[in-house]
Amino acid sequence: MSSTSKRVCVGMSGGVDSSVAAYLMKQQGFDVIGVTFRNWPQDCLSRAEDKCCGPQAVTDARMVAHKIGIPHYVADEIGAFQRDVIDYFVAEYQQGRTPNPCVICNNKIKFGSMWEKARSLGADCVATGHYARIVAGEGGRFELRRGGDPVKDQSYFLFGLTQAQLAHAYMPVGELTKEQTRAIARELGLKTHDKVESQEICFVPGQDYGRFLREGAHLPDRPGEIVTEDGKVIGEHQGIQYFTIGQREGLRLGGQKEPLYVVALDPTTDRVVAGPRASLMRDSFEVANCNWLASAPPFECMVKIRYNHRGCPAAVSLLADGNYRVTLPEPQRAITPGQAAVFYRDDLVLGGGWIVTAQQTAALRCGAPAD
């Protein structure tokens, strides 16, 4: 089927990337419809004028759509966003895990609800402004690959997409650098060309997770003890939901011989376990609820344990319970339950899963130096 016969829904967040994505799809001959999701109520604590899908973002997306000559619609996804993204976010913190809502939002909203909306508008596919690439592979399967800009690559957040989602999706800025994208927008005279890029979770302004959990999610405090690795009580806290693995600030511990960090969170006892930096090092961990886009393990690869992680070598193997063991030749710092582990071979995304445990090496327990 030629592009001229295809209608595509472009998810327009009001930013420069999705603006240029919509323009490029039109240039390729697609029948383009711009769609912006409204994801939270007007009186939500976290509403901010410049946030993705906030009031100003809707206005910006509408103006861009008018400029490039495509229709634009606003769709209400408040209920789905609350259920699939915010409720998940809150529940993970309650369980002592550190969530990654952007992965869930991509799976459920940007490539889930958006695809449903696209079909209701008679579209064959969806397009977004993600910096990643979708490539047709062998046997009718589709591959997810890193974006052309190594600094802006967003493939980490997309490991959960299904083959059906990849088959009906385009990422037209995936080959570009951020500066090239801005240059196109500037040449077109789009008001989003110099829009400041948010580095925050869209519904948590200022990255103040604690305030959002208290006031936005109305999550009550759960006071408990701060203990050392051998169980000695050294302080108190207001709730494990305010902590993450590797955190140092906020412990408010005085009189310690060396800096202490959060090395574990126990939701059953509401205890925060603190230890020295060396105790954050791990040489293996498990992942669950995996999605394999290429071949399934066992294999050797590179793994990213958080978005800003540079990646490291790993060996992945299947366990009897269906989870996977990830073994690291070089121990890594602060491997955090709740975060995504995404596996790569060169620029190909093999798949990924959710970190559920992290095992500490005996050598590092004995105080081997951390990097």
Distance CA 128, CA 184 (A): 16
In this predicted structure, what is the pLDDT of residue 359? Answer: 61
In this predicted structure, what is the pLDDT of residue 306? Answer: 96
Find the catalytic residue in 105, 125, 290, 301: 105
Query: How far from 296 is each of 301, 317, 324, CA to CA, in Å?
Result: 12, 9, 10
In this predicted structure, what is the pLDDT of residue 367? Answer: 34
In this predicted structure, what is the pLDDT of residue 5? Answer: 61
pLDDT digits (tens, 9 = 90+) for 211-257: 999 998 999 999 999 999 999 999 999 999 999 999 998 898 877 78
In this predicted structure, what is the pLDDT of residue 368? Answer: 35
Distance CA 157, CA 149 (A): 15
pTM: 0.92
Ranges of the chain whose pLDDT falls below 70 = 1-5, 41-54, 198-199, 358-371
Find the catalytic residue in 52, 53, 202, 290: 202
Q: Is 202 a catalytic residue?
A: yes
In this predicted structure, what is the pLDDT of residue 366? Answer: 34
Q: Is 105 a catalytic residue?
A: yes
Can you read off the two tokens belonging to residue 295? 């071949």
Distance CA 120, CA 158 (A): 24
| b/e code 210-249 from CB counts within 10 Å (16+ = b) | bebbbebbebeeeebbbbbeeeeebbebebbbbbbbbbee
In this predicted structure, what is the pLDDT of residue 252? Answer: 86
Is the peptide bond preceding residue 369 cis, with omega within 30 degrees of 0? Answer: no
